Amino acid sequence: MHQTMNASMTSNMVDPGLLDKIDKLFACGVGDHIPLPQLVVVGDQSSGKSSVLEGITKLPFPRDSGLCTRFATQITFRRAQTTSNAAPAYADKLRAFKSVTNAVLEPVSFSKAMKEVHKLMGLSESAEDNDGKSTFSEDVLKVEVTGPEQEHFSVVDVPGIFRTATKGVTTLADATMVKSMVRRYMVNPRSVMLVVIPANVDIATQEILTLAEEADPDGHRTLGVLTKPDLVDPGAESGVLQLIKGEKHPLNLGWCIVRNLGQQQIQDTAADRSAVERAFFRDRTPWNELDQERVGVDALRSRLQEVLASNIRREFSNVKREVLTKLSTAKRGLKDLGDKRQTPDEQRRFIMDIASRFREVVSLALNGNYSGNRWFDQEPDLMYVTAVVNRYAFKFDYSPESSEKPDTTSNGGQSLTLRHTKDIDDLEDLITGDRLIDDNIHNNIIEWLSELYKGSRGFELGTFDKNLLSRTMKAQSEKWEPLAHGYILDVVHLAHRFVTTLLRHVCPTPRGREGIMSVLMEPLLEIYRRALEQVQFVLRVEHSNPQTINHYFNDNLEKSRQKRLRASLEKHATVQASPFGGVPRSTIALDDIVQNHPMSNAQHTVFEVHDILKAYYKVARKRFVDNVCMQAADYLLVTGPNNPLKILSPQFVSSLSDEQLEEIAGEDIGLRRRRIALAKEVKDMEVGKKILAGVA
C-alpha cells in the first residue's frame, strides 16, 4: 500500500547522513535480514495506540471496534521523487494486493483498504463475522509512504495485548499468540518502544510496562506515552503528574502525555486534533502545569526526533558489523549448497564435478602419493594400496613334509583367522563361510599315502594311477579355498570402504551420496563377484589336472629323491680323510648301494608319490598365491582398468538418465527455497556493504 505525501512528516527526524544510509538500507532489502532502527507502538487493547499512531504518522487509522489491530502493520516513510507500487508481505494471494493513491489517505479509503486486507487474511471483521475465521494473524501488512520531501523512518503497530477472552470473538489462545507477537517486536535491540498506557488506570496493572522492562532492562529505548487524560477521575491527577515529572516509576527516556480526540470529535471531519489538544493542555488544570515539551502529539514527535537520532547513532556501528557478518555467513551457506542443480545439465555437471574430484584422489591413492591430499591423514581407509599390500601375507602352511599330513579328522585345537576386516552390511550377500578354520595337522603322511595307494591301485607295474596325484593334491590344498576366499573378501571390503569414505568427502549432500551409491552398488557388486569367481576359477584349474613346466618342479623332485637316497645310504658310509688335508669325504661300497633297496614295489611307489607331491606342492602353492593376488586382487580390485575405484567415471555420469540425475542431484523444495533466500541475502548485503562504505 502506498501513499504519496507532499510535505515532510517531521523536520530533521534523524541526522541527514545517517538517515540517507538507513533509507538506502531499507530500500535495498537489508531490513529483511537484520533489525534496523524503527519505532514500535505497543500497549493494551483500547489504550489509545491507534490514535497515538495516527498522530505520529498522520495516517487515518480506523479505530472502530470491528477494525481494531488484528495483525502487525509496518509503516515505512521514504523519500522518493515518484510513487512506486509495493505489496503487503503476505502469502502469494496477498502479494497480488496493491492499493496505490497519489492523494493524502482519508479515513474512508483507508478503512476500505483495511477491510480488504482483513478479508484476504481470512480474518473476521466483527463478532458476528467470525464463523470459522481467525481473529488475529501472524502476517505483516506493510504500508509505504513516499514523497519527495519525506524523511525515512519505520514504525510498527502491533495488536494490543489482553488477558481475558471475549466470547465469540477471542480466545485465551489468541491472547497468548498476541502476547508472543508483541514480545517478538519488543526484543528487537534497535527498536524504540512507545509504550502506550491510559492515564486513567493504575500503572501497576499494566503488563505491557513489565514486558518493556524485560525487553529493555537498561531503559535506553523505552518511551512512555500516557493517553486519555480527559478521563482521569478528579483528584487522581497528581499520580499522573508524578509520572510525567519522573517522580514516580521513572523511565530513562521519560514520559509524554497526549490527548486523543473523542469518538464524536473523530466523526466530525472539521475537528482539528492539534487545536483540541493545545486547548486542553493550555486551559485545563492541572494539565497546564506540565512542561510543554512533554505534552501533546507535536511534542511527542519532537521527542521521538531526539530518541531516534540517538538510537540510530548508537546502533549504526552494530548494523555495519552485522551486515558484514551476515554477508559472510550467507556466502558460506550458498557455497556449501554448491552450484544450482535444477536442470538435467546442471545436475550432470554437479555429479561430473564429484566424479572428477573422486578420480583425483583415486589416482593419488593408487600411486601411494598420500601427501597429495589431507584426507589421507584424516582417513586411514583411503590408504588403499598400503592396506592391500599388508593383506597379501595370507598363509599356505600345509606343505607335505615326510612326517606330516593334512588335518582331515581333527575335532579341535588351534584356529587360523581367515578374515581381518569388519563386515559391511551392504556386502552381506557376498559373505559366506566361517572367519576361522582349524589349524591342526596330523603326523605320518606316509601311512596316509599308503592307504590312498592301496585304495586306488590297479594292474600297474611299478607305477601308480594317474589320478592318485590329483587326489592327494586336493587333500593337501583343501584349506586353500577358505584362505583365498577370506583374503579376497578382505580386499573387497577394503575397496568398498575406500569408495564410501571418499564419496563422503567429495559429495556434500547425504542425498547425493545415497543416490550415487544406489546406482553404483550393482556394478560394484558385479566387480566383487567377479573377483571371488576368479578365485574359484584358479582353484578349479589347480585341482583339475596337476601339471607344470616350471623347471623348479624337477629340481625339487631331484633334491627330494637325493635327500631320501642319502638318508638311506648314510648308515653304510665311511668317512675318509682327504690326502691333501681338505674336507673329509664319505664313501660307500658299490655292493651296499645295490643291496640298499629292501622295499616292496608298493613302498617304493608310495615314497615316489610323496616326493612328487612334495615337489609339485611347492610349485603349485606359489603359482596359486601369485594368481590369486595378481588376477583376483590386483587386476580386478586394484590396478585393472575396471577396478571398483575407477567406477565413478565421466562415462558412468554420461550414462545416467534424467530420472537418475534428479534422484541423485536434484534439489528438494526446501533446498531450492534456501538457495533463493541465501542468494537474495547475499545480493542485499553486498549492496548494504557498499552503502555503509559510502560508495553506493
Each residue of 277-305: pLDDT tens digit? 889 999 899 999 999 999 999 899 888 87
The helix-helix angle for 510-544 and 480-506 (nearest 10°) equals 160
- For the chain, the residue count is 696
| pLDDT at site 461 | 52
pLDDT tens track for 213-242: 999 998 888 999 999 999 999 888 999 999
Residues 410, 440 contacting (CB under 8 angstroms): yes
Predicted local distance difference test score (pLDDT) of residue 684:
93
Which of 150-159, 215-224, 243-252 is predicted with the least confidence, judged by mean pLDDT? 150-159
pLDDT > 70: percent of the chain: 74
- The average confidence (pLDDT) of the chain is 79
Instruction: Round to whole Å and give the CA distance between 156 and 77.
Output: 11
Summarize pLDDT for 442-454 with one digit per residue, the tens.
556 777 777 776 7
Give me the residue label for grid cell 508483541.
Answer: 182
Residue 609's pLDDT band (cuts 50, 70, 90): confident
User: What pTM did the predictor assign?
Assistant: 0.55
Beta bridge partners of 77: 145, 153
Helix 445-454 / helix 466-476 crossing angle, nearest 10 deg: 140
Q: Which of 320-329, 576-585, 591-600 has the highest mean pLDDT?
A: 320-329
Answer yes or no: is pLDDT of 52 > 70: yes
Computed from CA positions of residues 360, 366, 371, 377, in that sequence, does the dihedral angle turn out positive or negative? positive
Q: Region 617-628: what's the mean pLDDT?
A: 89
Residue range 105-115: mean pLDDT, rounded: 62
Report which DSSP code applies to 216.
-
pLDDT at 434 over 80: no
- pLDDT at residue 66 is higher than 60: no
Report the alpha-carbon distance of residue 373 to residue 360 in Å, rounded: 10
Percent pLDDT > 90 in the chain is: 30
Least confident of 103-112, 171-180, 276-285, 686-695: 103-112
**Which cell numbers in the block locate residue 328?**
559472510
List, for residues 312-332, the tens digit of each pLDDT value.
888 888 899 999 999 999 999
Query: What pLDDT is recorded for position 640?
Result: 93
Q: How confident is the model at residue 551 (pLDDT cuts 50, 70, 90)?
A: confident
Burial 275-304 (b: 16+ CB within 10 A, else e): eebbebbeeeeebeebeeebbbbbbbbbbb
Q: What burial class does residue 466 get, using C-beta atoms within 10 Å of its C-beta: 0-12 exposed, 13-18 middle, 19+ buried?
A: exposed
Check whether 669 has a pLDDT greater than 50.
yes
Give the model's pLDDT for residue 213. 92
pLDDT reading at 310 higher than 70: yes
DSSP run (H or E) holding 610: helix 601-627
Per-residue pLDDT averaged across 616-623, rounded?
Answer: 87
Ramachandran class of 48: left when φ > 0, alpha when ψ lies in -120 to 50, beta otherwise: left
Mean pLDDT of 193-211: 90
Q: In order of start, what are the domains of the chain with their CATH numbers?
A: 2-332+686-693 (3.40.50.300), 344-574+585-666 (no CATH)
Does residue 638 carry a pLDDT above 60? Answer: yes
Say what the pLDDT of residue 101 is. 45
User: What are the E-state strand segments in 187-235?
Assistant: 191-198, 222-227
**pLDDT, mean of residues 248-271:** 77
Cell of 99: 492499493
pLDDT band at 306 (very low <50, low <70, confident <90, very high): confident
Q: Tens of pLDDT along 374-415?
A: 999 999 999 999 999 888 766 555 455 544 444 444 444 567
pLDDT confidence bin for 85, thresholds 50/70/90: very low
Let me know: does 163 contact 20? Beta carbons within 8 Å.
no
State the pLDDT confidence band at 163, using cuts at 50, 70 and 90.
confident
User: Is the predicted pLDDT of residue 356 greater than 60, yes or no?
Assistant: yes
| DSSP H/E element including 332 | helix 297-337
Residue 86 pLDDT: 42
What's the confidence (pLDDT) of residue 229? Answer: 93
What pLDDT sits at residue 689? 92
Helix axes 669-693, 297-337, angle to 10 degrees: 120
3-state helix vs strand vs coil in the chain, percent to 5: 55, 10, 35
Q: All 3 cell numbers of residue 59? A: 495516517
Distance, in Å, from the CA atom of 281 to the CA atom of 365, rounded to the nearest integer, reads 87
Residue 99 has pLDDT above 90, yes or no: no
Q: Are 73 and 140 in contact (CB under 8 A)?
A: yes
The winner for highest mean pLDDT among 11-15, 186-190, 522-526, 690-694 is: 522-526
